[in-house]
Structure 1
Amino acid sequence: MSVDLHRRLLWSGGHLLASLLMAAAVAALVFFLWFPHPYRDLSGGIKLFLIIVGVDVVLGPFATMVVASAKKSMRELRMDIALIALLQMGALGYGLWTVAQARPVYMAFEVDRFRVVHAVDVAPTLLALAPQEYRKLPMWGPRLIAVRPFVNNEEKMEVTMAALSGAIIGARPDLWMPYDDSTPAVLAESKPVSDLLNRKPEYRAQIAGLIAGFQSSENSVRYLPVAGRDLFWTVVVNANTAEPLGYLPVDPY
């Protein structure tokens, strides 16, 4: 092995190791705080992480391999790698900011389903219209909320027309209320799990496994759809308290 190749592999290998350690720290932040299960799938957290960190981990060490010529002095090499690291950190910082904007902030019950609400979905100028406890978006993991009942038919029509135009009902701060206040509505809109089993028999083992996992019977739970970023899942709730117990990668429609 030539001296030049040895130097390039040595420096790029060290850069790769440092990049992988940084990627592990970012993964902990993204998957344990911002996108815990089931949001890494419902909100596309895995895709965002792979795009941002994957590019960062690959390009940094590759650039170091290119510049780590044996013809350069150590001073020149350190300056080049410091510049690469600075650019890499800047790109990673921008990527993290992007992920933070896309992070799920609420799991909202809206009318007849649950919906994942992301930070980017909520207009900052409307947060002042939310109840006091919801005027600052959660930073360290999504919370449960609900959409309050409409005050009259005029408001219902306005919200419906806005939703048809693409406005997410669950992302409207003026409609938010505590999830516990929605228990009767959640239970009224939920359906027996037997209905899901009859319509989706191919998922019978998966559904039965989830129910058994939290030591419940089929009659003690109900289900509702969950709308993610671009897909539907199913949430299983306690038939008495409406507490979400678990999520299934099953489109209930």
Structure 2
Amino acid sequence: MPTSNAFVWRDRFKASGIHFGISLVIALMAALLVFGLWYPYPYREISGGRELFLIVVIVDVILGPLITLAVFNRAKPWRELRRDLLVVALIQLAGLGYGLWAVFVARPVHMVFEYDRFRVVHAVDVPLELLAQAPPGVDALPLFGPTLLSLRPFRDSQEKMKATMAALEGLSLSAQPNLWQPYAAAIPEILKEARPVSELKARFVNQASEIDRVLVSTGRAPQVLVYLPMVGRKSFWTVFLDPVTADVMAFMPLDSF
């Protein structure tokens, strides 16, 4: 009898191991989709993509094989065993699909220059009924990673008051599509608001060497770059810019407000 039980558990662990391997391959493919398209660096950290995806992986890679370990038994009729494994697979795929959908709707869609800072806007931040207000040529909810946008000047004090009241109620200025414009349209304002990196290093003396390390990757002399603060989902970062073109050169998890 013990020998029979040993064979049963050996088969169960083997089936669970195969299931784990298949689940791991699927999870790696999902990771390429999530971090390659929806949450490229640094948004996987700024927007919490890594934490959201971790939940998906736990459900997909751990829970499925554990259920297989519990239900697999060669003593069952083949039809019953096949049915059980199919149910496990369907439950796992449903969980994976729901998890990926949650990651998708929470994805970052724009990094917007908001008059004196950058703000990351996520798909879930923009009310669906406002999407039609996006200006021509601007993809309101891009599928292949965040785009750069800026906010146009207010047309009058009444529009400014209305937009500000909406922001106080939870709809940030950057999540209001009627205010969007191409990033290039605001380059003079961006460069006017940006500050030299030397000023940042003077404010954060203890992190000056870390700032230099981040900027080395740009291939530019740190002293020529400028910066602006950025508001993420749960944290504040710093964006480093070219002082002439306002191109984004690097990011750093530093609250520079």
- TM (normalized to structure 1)? 0.96
The structure 2 residue matched to 1:167, chosen from 171, 175, 186, is 171
Structure 1 segment 81-160 matched on structure 2, within 5 A: 81-160=85-164
Runs of 4+ in structure 1 off by over 3 angstroms are none
The structure 1 residue matched to 2:206, chosen from 202, 215, 218, is 202
Structure 1 segment 1-253 matched on structure 2, within 5 A: 2-253=6-257
CA distance in 2, matches of 1:26, 1:233: 27
Task: Work out the number of aligned pairs and report it.
Answer: 253
Structure 1 unaligned spans of 5+: none
Per-residue CA deviation, residues 161-203 of structure 1 (Å, 9 max, x unaligned), is 2212221111111000000001011111111111111111222
What is the CA RMSD across the aligned residues, in angstroms? 1.3
CA distance in 2, matches of 1:107, 1:139: 14
Offset, 1:135: 4.9
CA distance in 2, matches of 1:125, 1:161: 18
Q: Secondary structure at the match of 1:229?
A: coil
Structure 2 unaligned spans of 5+: none
Offset, 1:73: 2.6
- TM (normalized to structure 2)? 0.95
Q: Secondary structure at the match of 1:10?
A: helix
What's the % identity of the aligned pairs? 46
